[in-house]
Amino acid sequence: MPPPLPAQRLQRPAMTSVALPAQTVPTARLSSFYFFYYAALGAFTPYWSLYLQSREMSVTAISVMMSLWYATRVVAPSTWTSLAAVSPHPIRWLRVGCVLTIACFAGFLVPAPPWTLYAVMIAFCFFYNAVMPQFESITLTHLGADSHRYGMIRVWGSLGFIIVVTLFGWLIEKHGAGKLPWLMLPLFALLTGSAFLNRYARNITARSQHEAGFWSIVRQKPVMAFFIAAFLEQLSFGPYYTFFSLYMDQHGYSTSLLGLMWTVGVVFEVAVFFMIARFFRRWDASWLLIISMGSAVLRWWATALWPENLPVMLVAQTTHCLGFAAFFASAMQLLARYFPGNLNGHGQGLFYGFSSGLGGVLGALIAGQLWQFGDGRLAFIVGGCFALLGTLIAWYWLPPSRQARRMR
């Protein structure tokens, strides 16, 4: 068990903030944004390729289209959060981003040649990927010193995902995948409405050295180690997000069993978000980050070695609650610590773009190249090695107790 949480100090640039009385956290408004954002993602992630197939696109064209989702994650988060960080009215960028998301998505409702879908996809994915990092920053401004309560708000995103992925599966089976954009449109409308209901908790302004202050934090060794570890963690998920369903099909699993495996992971994810605040009250977030990355090592190696063993695979899927939910909640804690005030949105953009964006793209590409060796087993073994390297980097650099010993 990691040692209890000690004090940690990181060098930070001077910030000025407007001292305001303590405010009640608008849990319902914040939760609604997560709910509708991830509800839409619950329709997009599993079913969008079926919609593209209904538009008579080839397998190659569909793979290119889906790669645009990851490609825009490299640039959209950092671009949007940078614009918001220097704006006198940053909340407007969130609202504009949501309006442009639904406006671009409406392009899928218009009968047009298949090639035009590429332009629509790029625009839609850019704005959809742009708004969440900024909203994470908004949530953390409300939570302040109570950032350990993040999981109780973020859990509503997981619930939205579960509800929609279940409901839309039945609707698509009954009415066909061609109706998917019409089914998703109300979710984006509700997401936009939630954006107009939310706002930052307080006005925080940075000095004129905003950019210099941000990069001076990034260059600190623990912060650099955090971003590298997060990148490696997302890199390790490449085989899972790209080929897991195909891998299970190759080993004789039915569609119903495959659906059960995906659901098991998200259900345990919900449980972790509900309980994680108790951990953060006693232990430092860096230790949970290390534990979550270590669980990913075991998960990918078990998936590679025993794919035919159903009990092993179900247990491996339950660790999604650590490799994703616990990892993500810990990352939000550390980002709140490393990047205070108005710098947090900038930090969120770098985190999303570098780890989920670049890590997601490279992870998918590497998995694709390795898939021909060992029927996918090698891809998962290498994924476990990426997670192991990230775990070691995080273990060496992130815990405050280890930082203190190195400074002696």
Identify the residue whose tokens are 């696109």: 57
**Could you tell me the pLDDT band of residue 211, with boundaries at 50, 70 and 90?**
low
Q: What is the DSSP annotation of 269-330?
A: HHHHHHHHHHHHHHS-HHHHHHHHHHHHHHHHHHHHH-TT-HHHHHHHHHTHIIIIIIHHHH
Predicted pLDDT of residue 402: 64
Cα separation, 257 vs 249, in Å, equals 10
The span from the CA of 288 to the CA of 186, in Å, is 37
Rounded-to-integer distance, Cα 233 and Cα 237, Å: 7
3-state secondary structure at position 90: coil
pLDDT at residue 5 above 90? Answer: no
Q: Which region among 150-154, 278-282, 345-349, 399-403 has the lowest average model confidence (pLDDT)?
A: 399-403
Cα dihedral 60→62→65→67 (10° resolution): -70
Helix 221-236, helix 377-397: angle, nearest 10 = 160
- Per-residue pLDDT at 71: 85
Q: Give mean pLDDT, residues 98-117.
A: 91
- Proportion of the chain above pLDDT 90, given as a percent: 38
Domain ranges of the chain: 29-200, 211-408
Look at residue 6 and tell me whether its pLDDT is greater than 70: no
Q: What is the pLDDT of residue 176?
A: 83
Across 227-238, average pLDDT: 94
Q: According to the model, what pLDDT value does residue 407 have?
A: 53
Q: What is the dihedral of CA 366, 368, 371, 377, to 10 degrees?
A: 50
> Rounded mean pLDDT of 330-355?
86
Average pLDDT of the segment spanning 46-72: 80
Average pLDDT of the chain is: 84
Residue 278 confidence (pLDDT): 82
Pick the CATH number of 211-408 from 3.20.20.80, 3.90.1150.10, 1.20.1250.20, 3.40.1010.20: 1.20.1250.20
pLDDT of amino acid 203? 54
The DSSP 8-state label assigned to residue 398 in this structure reads S
pLDDT in tens, 246-299: 788 788 877 667 667 777 888 888 888 888 888 888 888 899 999 999 999 999
Angstrom distance (rounded) from CA 368 to CA 132: 28
Does position 145 have pLDDT exceeding 60, yes or no? yes
Max mean pLDDT range (118-127, 135-144, 346-355): 118-127
The string of DSSP letters for 334-352 reads HHHHHS-TTHHHHHHHHHI
Which residue pairs, CB below 8 angstroms and at least 24 apart, start in 97-100? 97/127, 97/130, 97/131, 97/134, 97/195, 98/127, 98/131, 98/188, 98/191, 98/192, 98/195, 99/192, 100/127
Q: Are 335 and 343 in contact (CB under 8 A)?
A: no
Q: Which residue has the tokens 């891998």?
A: 247
Superfamily of domain 29-200: MFS general substrate transporter like domains (1.20.1250.20)
Tell me what pLDDT residue 404 has: 53
Q: What is the pTM of this model?
A: 0.77
pLDDT grade, residue 16 (50/70/90)? Answer: very low
User: Which pLDDT does position 12 carry in this prediction?
Assistant: 46
Q: How far is CA 123 from CA 64, 129, 348, in A?
A: 15, 10, 21
Tell whether the model's pLDDT for residue 229 goes beyond 90: yes
Is the per-residue pLDDT at 147 higher than 90? no
- Quickly list DSSP for 13-66: --EEE---------HHHHHHHHHHHHHHHHHHHHHHHHHHHHTT--HHHHHHHH
User: Is pLDDT above 50 for 97?
Assistant: yes
pLDDT of residue 14: 43
Give the β-pairing of 15-17 and 204-206.
antiparallel
Alpha-carbon distances, residue 301 vs 227, 240, 324, 378 (angstroms): 23, 12, 17, 9
Q: Where does the pLDDT of residue 168 fall: very low under 50, low under 70, confident under 90, or very high at 90 and above?
A: confident
Q: Are 304 and 377 in contact (CB under 8 A)?
A: yes
Same fold, 29-200 and 211-408: yes
- DSSP type of residue 237: T
Place of tokens 């068990």: 1
Q: Does position 202 have pLDDT exceeding 70, yes or no?
A: no
Pair of tokens at residue 341: 């005030």
Quote the CA–CA distance of 42 and 158 in Å, as a whole number: 9
Residue 359 half-sphere exposure toward CB, CA atoms < 13 A: 23
| Residue 73 or 126, more confident | 126
> Which residue would you say has higher pLDDT here, 187 or 44?
187
Q: Answer yes or no: is pLDDT of 372 > 90.
A: no
